Amino acid sequence: MAQFVCRDLSLGYGGGVFISGLNLEVSAGDYLCVIGENGSGKSTLLKTMLGLVPAVRGTVAMGDGIRPREVGYLPQQTAAQRDFPASVREVVLSGCQGRCGLRPFYNGSEKRLAADAMRKMGVGSLAGKCYRELSGGQQQRVLFARALCAAQKALFLDEPVSGLDQQSAAEMYRVLEELNREGLTVVMVSHDVEPALRYASHVLRIGKSVFYGTKQQYAESGEALK
């Protein structure tokens, strides 16, 4: 059974529609890479699938027992996020809020999870530093660690390697590949097409035409040449 199902989905803003009649299913363990031109609606699609913005038409349903609080989300950074006055540890730990239930504090397991996420993203040594004093690349790795804490069954990422150098981007892809092999569902928007597709199981290409299928089907379709 699919974790996310989009049926006859249409997205748009300002009275215009830029995606129409989209149908797709994301199952547990899939690695879906969403690619396309700037302004084609990739970020809006992620937000709609997560219930953050409404669809113009159609539906998005969650199934296979997945709940919204079990999905991690790494959005594109805003100016307000870059100036957030908290320590790196506090920012990463906040990703565990969905695990706390009614508890007003983080337990030992959640603190260890946050420490492990910081280690994976190479920001463990920055735990006590103020988040807003970090470089853009460091902040992106901290936000990735935060999303990892929230991602119990699925992880949505919007341009996750933005602001990262080549080595840091490669490390982020390696972490994503490892998590996906462990069973985590990954849905990622990326303009960094070649390395992103290297690890994908499925591809959604949005533009003048829409393609959705496996990576092999995408390679055989000729869409990659458009």
SS (H, E, C) 35-66: EECCCCCHHHHHHHHCCCCCCCEEEEEECCCC
Q: 226: Cβ–Cβ under 8 A, 6 or more apart, which residues?
A: 207, 209
Q: By 3-state DSSP, what share of the chain in percent is helix, strand and coil, each rounded to 5? A: 40, 25, 30
Which pLDDT score is estimated for 123? Answer: 95
Residues 1-66+158-164+191-226, CATH architecture: 3-Layer(aba) Sandwich (3.40)
Among 21-35, 156-170, 181-195, the range with the most confident prediction by mean pLDDT is 21-35
Residue (of 201, 205, 177, 175) closest to 190 by Cα position: 205
Pairing of strands 185-189, 31-36: parallel
**169 vs 225: CA distance, rounded Å:** 24
Amino acid at 105: F
Which pLDDT score is estimated for 192? Answer: 82
Q: Where are the domains of the chain?
A: 1-66+158-164+191-226
Q: Determine if the pTM surpasses 0.85.
A: yes
Q: 151: Cβ–Cβ under 8 A, 6 or more apart, which residues?
A: 70, 71, 72, 179, 184
With beta carbons less than 8 A apart as the criterion, state whether 38 and 29 touch: no
Instruction: Dig out the tokens for 112 from the structure.
Output: 């260890």
Residue (of 95, 78, 87) closest to 163 by Cα position: 78
Which pLDDT score is estimated for 223? Answer: 66
* pLDDT > 60? residue 226: no
Q: 112: Cβ–Cβ under 8 A, 6 or more apart, which residues?
A: none
pLDDT band at residue 65, thresholds of 50, 70 and 90?
very high
Model confidence pLDDT, tens digit, residues 127-180: 999 999 999 889 999 999 999 999 999 999 999 988 788 888 888 899 999 999
Which pLDDT score is estimated for 77? Answer: 75
